[in-house]
Chains A and B, each alone.
Chain A
Amino acid sequence: MKSTVTPRQVDQTVADHEIISRILTGERNAFGELISRYSDPLYRHALGMTGSPDVAEDILQASFIKAYQHLAEVHGRFDAWIFRIVANGCKDWLKNIRRTHLSYEEDDQPSSFSTPDEELDRTELRSDLDGALTALAPSLREAFVMKHVEGRSYEEMADLLGTTVGALKMRVHRAREALQALLEEKYS
């Protein structure tokens, strides 16, 4: 697979490894730096995958604790490594749970809509999009969330998931078609 590591990622990886070295030599509080560096994008991923703020928080907590316990095993990029732990945590949760209805808490997201009508439409669309995402297989949901919600490039996704750009494009395309089939009657 073609490497897509940028100079910024190299700097970040070096900085991460310096923090990891400090933690391994007993500076436990340095782990907080890794948490603050990566918790936002990881939380967004977990929230997109599970649809539940509480579950996303639990998955992040378990993932960071697991990461801490196995920190000495990180030899490559910490961000990719912790992402895989979180992504696997989300997929495990999806396998084990039969969801009824979970949605984002209303005040968790900033609004880009101005009028009350737009706000109402937005709430409805958000809920419908969550419902439609629930109907997707985890691998399709993961690809859609990474592309459309997290705004990642296919190359970055391939790098994080250890698969090919072609396979991911296929998953995103399938996810889009499924979502449009589920939502177009109401929103087209």
Chain B
Amino acid sequence: MLEENSNPREQRDEAGRNKTPRETPVTRPVTDREVPLGGHTMQPAIHAWLDGDLPESAVRRGDMVRDVEFWQRINKEAEGRRQIRSPMTLADTIMSALPDAAPAMTEPWWKQSVAISPVTALAASAGLVALGMALQSMRTR
């Protein structure tokens, strides 16, 4: 699988030398973590045209004509996919698969109610009194 690789050091071998050029991806199966260059570097103007920053007339010349025609074919296919719609039955399928319980309302922890038993309340009070007495005795020393 061709892998995004933003770390230029990964393109060097362990001794820090640049790796030798790879075979083009079309001649052998691509491996995991491969840098997707495959020997081809597109001219920045082609990217700018594809990004909508340059008109077609600015790139339809010289060596770039071949790239323009290639990308026009790809874009025609890609844009055709924008008309695809989700299956008609999808909404019904999802609605029938929803859990019966309504989604839980979540409140911030400070707004949530806390249940304390009388024993816990008494223990907490006794603890606070003991802590207060301990602090008081430390202050008087």
User: Inside 8 A of B39's CB, which chain A residues have their CB?
Assistant: 181
How many chain-A residues does the 8 Å CB contact rule pick out? 67
Are A40 and B80 within 8 A (Cβ)?
no
Kindly provide the distance from the CB of A144 to the nearest chain B CB, expressed in whole angstroms.
8
The range of chain B's interface size is 35 or more
The answer to whether the Cβ of A78 comes within 8 Å of any Cβ in the partner chain is no
User: Inside 8 A of B71's CB, which chain A residues have their CB?
Assistant: 176, 180
Are A188 and B70 within 8 A (Cβ)?
yes
User: Inside 8 A of A185's CB, which chain B residues have their CB?
Assistant: 26
Q: Which chain B residue has the least Cβ–Cβ distance from A33?
A: B91
Give a binary string over A144-188; 1 marks a CB under 8 Å from any B CB, 0 the rest: 000011110010000000000000011111111111111111011
With beta carbons under 8 angstroms apart, the residue of B1, B24, B76, B103 that contacts A72 is: B103
With beta carbons under 8 angstroms apart, the residue of B50, B86, B97 that contacts A39 is: B86
How far, in whole Å, are A53 and B25 apart by their CA atoms in the complex?
Answer: 27
Kindly provide the distance from the CB of A151 to the nearest chain B CB, expressed in whole angstroms.
6
Q: Which chain B residue has the least Cβ–Cβ distance from A42?
A: B86
Are B40 and A109 within 8 A (Cβ)?
no
The answer to whether the Cβ of B13 comes within 8 Å of any Cβ in the partner chain is no
- The verdict on A35 contacting B90 (CB below 8 Å), with A177-B37, A181-B40 known, is yes
Q: Which chain B residue has the least Cβ–Cβ distance from A26?
A: B102
Are B42 and A24 within 8 A (Cβ)?
no
Kindly provide the distance from the CB of A126 to the nearest chain B CB, expressed in whole angstroms.
6
How far, in whole Å, are A154 and B47 apart by their CA atoms in the complex?
Answer: 13
Are B75 and A43 within 8 A (Cβ)?
no
> Which candidate, B2-10, B112-120, B121-129, B130-138, is the interface stretch facing chain A?
B2-10
Kindly provide the distance from the CB of B79 to the nearest chain A CB, expressed in whole angstroms.
7
The answer to whether the Cβ of A57 comes within 8 Å of any Cβ in the partner chain is yes
Kindly provide the distance from the CB of A115 to the nearest chain B CB, expressed in whole angstroms.
14
Kindly provide the distance from the CB of A77 to the nearest chain B CB, expressed in whole angstroms.
18
Residues of A within 8 A of B (CB): 23-24, 26, 28-29, 31-32, 35-36, 39-40, 42-44, 47-48, 53, 57, 60-61, 64-65, 68-73, 108-112, 122, 125-126, 129, 134-137, 139-140, 148-151, 154, 169-185, 187-188
Residues of B within 8 A of A (CB): 1-4, 6, 24-26, 30, 36-42, 47, 50-51, 66-67, 69-71, 73-87, 90-91, 93-95, 97-99, 102-106
